[in-house]
């Protein structure tokens, strides 16, 4: 592998079409990359030291990993750390970051940062780390260094997605299928509504959901909830664990049903699956908040084929599948419902499936 002295790399944020909180249960997900990304302009240094600047915060941080790195730079340090842990000789580097991925909206700005930095360091160092292995390494940076117990969906989407396609990922085997998603060709649009709801509970509640799923699998004597059927769940006595597990089991089924429809090009027909996914997150997994429930209801009442919260939950974004010529009316209806409930105005924008991480120059 040859090394590079410098270059520019980019990696995108994502939305998840369907398959929420299934990734850490060894299940199925169907995200696509957003046309918003983090770009890193990187240059190799001749010493084991990393200097990172962010145009978002205006800060510059230098570290050599002899001491723990905290704050946003921990995502960068985590990638260096995870590469070293995996036995790679990581080149020192100057990394200048800029991003238009909305932060704090559940659109994977952290995965975009990790994956852009990972691409840059791999190419600068000429490291032999095949693309399919990169999501797990970026996930390890976040799990073990930053301390967030996320699954592998976001890093996979940011790394592996293709323009015009959603990424069907089996999180157990890491097998991928790129599913064509020609929204415009069918007069459709996916509208994202950033609810802008403050989500403070996110870390502890996410970890609690993950722990509940692991507990349920353990009680059932299964490696993960991926292996459970609805019939198995009658063996769970605890009603809370039963509801958590039911979300995961039914959500995996909904992903598979969505894939079947999309393989046939029947995009409109996935609407009801999106909406039942939302109901399952609201009632069984209990990860929605009034703002996102309101956005879903208002979008459906205004004619969306389906709508659901996307991402980890407790705020963040909703996506709605709409006829392109109804998108403005749906966005308007959501805005009015937010005003009527005294919520902050939402941000609504259409999204199309964009490519994953890439070297720009």
Cite the active site residues: 154
Q: Which of 12, 27, 151, 335 binds ligand GLA (CB under 6 A)?
A: 151
Binding flag, residue 321, ligand GLA (CB under 6 A)? no
By CB under 6 A, tell whether 150 contacts ligand GLA: yes
| Residue 140 sits in the site that holds ligand GLA (CB under 6 A) | no
Stretch 106-125: interaction string toward ligand GLA, x if CB under 6 A: --------------------
If one asks whether residue 154 binds ligand GLA (CB under 6 A), the answer comes out as yes
Q: Smallest Cα–Cα separation from 153: which of 194, 114, 104?
A: 114
Query: What's the min distance (Å) between Cβ of 305 and ligand GLA?
Result: 21
- Contact pick of 33, 153, 300, 318 for ligand GLA (by CB under 6 A): 153
Interaction of residue 247 with ligand GLA, rule CB under 6 A: no
CA distance 10 to 158: 9
Axis crossing angle, helix 153-160 with helix 109-125, rounded to the nearest 10: 50
Instruction: Kindly state the tokens that stand for 118.
Output: 């990972």
Q: What is the DSSP code string of 152-213?
A: SHHHHHHHH--TTEEEEEETTT--EEEEE--TGGGTEEEEEEE------THHHHHHHHHHHH
Residue 24 within binding range of ligand GLA, rule CB under 6 A? yes
Instruction: Kindly list the distances between the CA atom of residue 49 and the CA atoms of 60, 126, 159, in Å, as whole numbers in the listed order.
Output: 13, 17, 25
Stretch that binds ligand GLA, among 149-157, 173-181, 236-244, 328-336 (CB under 6 A): 149-157
Report CA torsion sign: 294, 295, 299, 304: negative
Structural tokens at position 138: 């970026």
Residue whose CB is less far from ligand GLA, 63 or 206: 206
- Minimal distance, residue 26 CB to ligand GLA, in Å: 12
Residue 135 near ligand GLA by CB under 6 A: no
User: Which positions lie near ligand GLA, rule CB under 6 A?
Assistant: 16, 20-21, 23-24, 150-151, 153-154, 311-312
């Amino acid at each position: 592998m040859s090394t590079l002295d410098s270059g520019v790399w980019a990696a995108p944020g994502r939305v998840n079409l369907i398959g929420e909180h299934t990734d850490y249960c060894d299940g199925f997900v169907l995200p696509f990359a957003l046309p918003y990304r983090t770009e890193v302009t990187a240059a190799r240094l001749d010493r084991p030291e990393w200097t990172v600047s962010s145009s978002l915060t205006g800060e510059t941080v230098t570290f050599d990993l002899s001491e723990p790195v905290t704050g946003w730079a921990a995502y960068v340090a985590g990638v260096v750390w995870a590469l070293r842990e995996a036995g790679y000789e990581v080149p020192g580097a100057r990394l200048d970051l800029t991003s238009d991925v909305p932060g704090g909206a559940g659109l994977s700005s952290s995965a975009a940062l990790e994956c852009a930095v990972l691409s840059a360091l791999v190419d600068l160092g000429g490291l032999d780390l095949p693309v399919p292995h990169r999501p797990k390494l970026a996930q390890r940076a976040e799990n073990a260094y930053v301390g967030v117990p996320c699954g592998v969906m976001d890093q996979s989407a940011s790394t592996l997605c293709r323009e015009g396609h959603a990424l069907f990922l089996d999180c157990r085997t890491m097998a991928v299928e790129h599913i064509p998603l020609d929204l415009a060709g069918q007069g459709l649009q996916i509208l994202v509504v950033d609810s802008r709801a403050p989500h403070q509970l996110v870390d502890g509640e996410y970890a609690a959901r993950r722990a509940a799923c692991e507990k349920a699998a353990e009680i059932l004597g299964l490696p993960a909830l991926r292996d459970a059927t609805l019939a198995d769940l009658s063996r769970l006595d605890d009603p809370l664990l039963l509801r958590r597990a039911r979300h995961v089991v039914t959500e995996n089924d909904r992903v598979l049903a969505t894939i079947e429809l999309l393989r046939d090009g029947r995009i409109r027909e996935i609407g009801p699956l999106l909406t039942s996914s939302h109901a399952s997150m609201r009632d069984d997994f209990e990860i929605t908040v009034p703002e996102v429930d309101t956005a879903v209801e208002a979008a459906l009442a205004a004619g969306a084929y389906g709508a659901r919260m996307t991402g980890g939950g407790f705020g963040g974004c909703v996506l709605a599948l709409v006829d392109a010529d109804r998108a403005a009316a749906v966005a308007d209806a959501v805005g009015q419902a937010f005003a009527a409930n005294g919520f902050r105005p939402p941000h609504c924008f259409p999204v199309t499936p964009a490519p994953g991480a890439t070297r720009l120059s």
